[in-house]
Amino acid sequence: MTMMHYKGYEASVEFDEAAEIFHGEVLNLRDVITFQGSSASELKQAFAESVEDYLEFCKGRGEQPEKPFSGQFVVRAPSVLHKALSLAAKRDGVSLNKWITTALERAVK
């Protein structure tokens, strides 16, 4: 699977050998944004146009466009772990949010 990026939106692209066409879909949205093209340049243009159409559609309805990632997510953890994390953050003199964000950043490097 190939990935494309435009204005913070990420899309997966696949090639349909039978139809001889590339088709893509923007990922991580509840809204559905698709596009297609028969060449790389056509596909890139169609992706940009689809995102721009989506942004204009939202603007016309007075709605905020959905973003792929808001920067917030809920994590459920056992209370014992929650307590240990909170104590570790206090020991380090930072908020629980900052402590967890730092740990996650280290984990994905």
Residue whose pair of structure tokens reads 């204005």 in the numeric block: 7
Partners of residue 10 on adjacent β-strands: 5
State residue 68's pLDDT score.
78
Look up residue 51 and give its amino acid: V
- The span from the CA of 63 to the CA of 18, in Å, is 38
pTM, whole model, 2 decimals?
A: 0.67
Question: Phi and psi at residue 66, in whole multiples of 5°?
Answer: -70, 140
Model confidence at 92, in pLDDT bands (50, 70, 90)?
Answer: very high
Which alpha helices (H) appear in 30-95, and where do they start and end?
A: 40-61, 79-92
pLDDT for 70 beyond 90:
no
